[in-house]
Amino acid sequence: MEAKGSEWWSGETVAVVTGANRGIGLEICRQLADKGLTVIMTARKPQEQLSSSAKQFLQDAAELGRKNVIFHTLDIAQEQSVLDFVDWLKLHVGNIDILVNNAAIQTAEIDWLFLKQNHVDVITFLGTPDCGRVTSESHELAKECIHTNYHGTKTLTNALLPLLRPTPYKARIIMVSSVAGLLYYLRDEELKKQLSEVEDLTEQKIEGVLNLFLEDLKSEKGMEKWPLQLPAYSTSKAAMNAYTRLLASKLKGIACVNSVHPGLVRTDLSEYNGNLSAPEGAENIVRVALFPVGGPSGHNFLEREDSEF
């Protein structure tokens, strides 16, 4: 790989992006491809069923004769889909340099109209008990949210670790997280401690916290330990952040692993509420993916700000 100035990447630099059918994921692919990297654009739908904007992006790339955008189906919540994708990658691509874990779901209902009419911004909403009445979430949906956002992301990441290219530039893993995943929103000191003590973190510990969340939700014995709003989504992202720290420590010297909140971005997930466009949200992710050599690992960024977890 040749590097120009602080640009350590080239056309041989391979980036895998998940959840690229729409929203921020699609824009991450566009920006990485525009910078000349080879982009493995993935989505849970097969190519013929992609959104019109994803199809247009692939069609434009083909018409321009661009060989640096390759599509493959990948449903991170389906283990077989992950295995098939990794087999295909090994056979047709080989090593990868960047993994952007962007795919996620948010399964609580939010009454955006209520928030708008009462001038409640999302940050206030996340921390305000009075807004609690505007969200609802079943146990089944909460389980699906945690399964996709945490277990799906972890399964894919672990399966791709052997393919990370060993280079002086270091491979990069970016967890597209959320401000909702800050430990601040967990309302139990012991839980915060469990997810924050990096030296004692294990996958089992993180999964123990997620199992406890689902048990508490099912037993309805009380959700007082858990985030007030979007409890499953917030808890899944807090677990993802803990996994970022665990992986950063495990891959020290091999890869940079960071979490990034893209901002409040107008996409389907936010029902088009937010102060940023999808390209602006994607820029916050791409910036971290392409940090100059020697950049941070084990950090959490809220948009462009280095933040506590």
- Residue 181, CA distances (Å) to 42, 242, 260 in order: 24, 10, 10
Cβ proximity to ligand NAP: between 104 and 232 the closer is 104
Residue 45 interacting with ligand NAP (CB under 6 A): yes
Which of the following is catalytic: 150, 169, 185, 233? 233
Q: Which of 13, 68, 102, 297 binds ligand NAP (CB under 6 A)?
A: 102
Q: Using an 8 Å Cβ cutoff, are 262 and 300 in contact? A: no
Contact call for residue 110 and ligand NAP (CB under 6 A): no
Selected from 61, 76, 195, 201, the binder of ligand NAP by CB under 6 A is 76
One character per residue 235-264, x = contact with ligand NAP (rule: CB under 6 A): --------------------------xx-x
Q: Which of 15, 16, 17, 25 binds ligand NAP (CB under 6 A)?
A: 25
Q: Measured between alpha carbons, how far is 50 from 19 in angstroms, rounded to an integer?
A: 11
CA–CA separation, 165 and 215 (whole Å): 40
241: helix, strand or coil? helix
Q: Least distance to ligand NAP from the beta carbon of 69, Å?
A: 16
Q: Which of residues 186-245 bind ligand NAP (CB under 6 A)?
A: none
Candidate list 8, 13, 18, 126; residue touching ligand NAP; CB under 6 A: 18
Rounded Cα–Cα distance for residues 87 and 73 (Å): 12
116 contacts ligand NAP (rule: CB under 6 A): no
Is 152 a binding residue for ligand NAP by CB under 6 A? The answer is yes
What contacts 58, CB < 8 A, 6 or more positions away? 41, 47, 50, 69, 71
DSSP 8-state secondary structure symbol assigned to residue 149? I
Contact call for residue 107 and ligand NAP (CB under 6 A): no
Minimum CB distance to ligand NAP, residue 273 (Å): 8
- Distances 87 to 76, 103, 114, 118 between C-alpha atoms, Å: 14, 20, 47, 50
CA distance 14 to 95: 8
The CA angle 284-132-189, to the nearest 5 degrees, is 70
What are 244's two structure tokens? 């970022």
Confirm whether 272 is a catalytic residue: no
* Minimal distance, residue 7 CB to ligand NAP, in Å: 25
Closer CB to ligand NAP, residue 182 or residue 265? 265
Catalytic (active-site) positions? 233
Binding site for ligand NAP (CB under 6 A): 18-19, 21-25, 43-45, 75-77, 102-105, 148, 152, 176, 178, 261-262, 264-265, 267-270, 274
